[in-house]
Amino acid sequence: REGESVLPLAMAGFPGPLRVDRHRARDLLPPASQCGPLLELLVALGKLALPHVTVRTSSSDVELRFWATHVLGELRFGGAASALLPRLFDDDASVRRIARRSAASLVAA
Q: What is the pLDDT of residues 6-56, one digit of tens each?
A: 888 889 999 999 999 888 877 789 999 999 999 999 999 999 999 999 999
Out of 3-7, 71-75, 82-86, 94-98, least confident range: 3-7
CA distance 6 to 24: 31
CA distance 31 to 89: 21
Q: To the nearest whole percent, how much of the chain has pLDDT over 90?
A: 78
CA distance 27 to 30: 9
Cα–Cα distances (Å) from 50 to 8, 12, 25, 99, in that order, read: 12, 15, 25, 15
Position 28 scores a pLDDT of 85
Query: Which pLDDT band holds residue 1 (cuts at 50, 70, 90)?
Result: low
Position 109 scores a pLDDT of 80
- For the segment 87-96, the average pLDDT, to the nearest whole number, is 96
- Asked whether the beta carbons of 32 and 75 are under 8 A apart, the reply is no
Position 3 scores a pLDDT of 65
Looking at residue 1, its amino acid is R
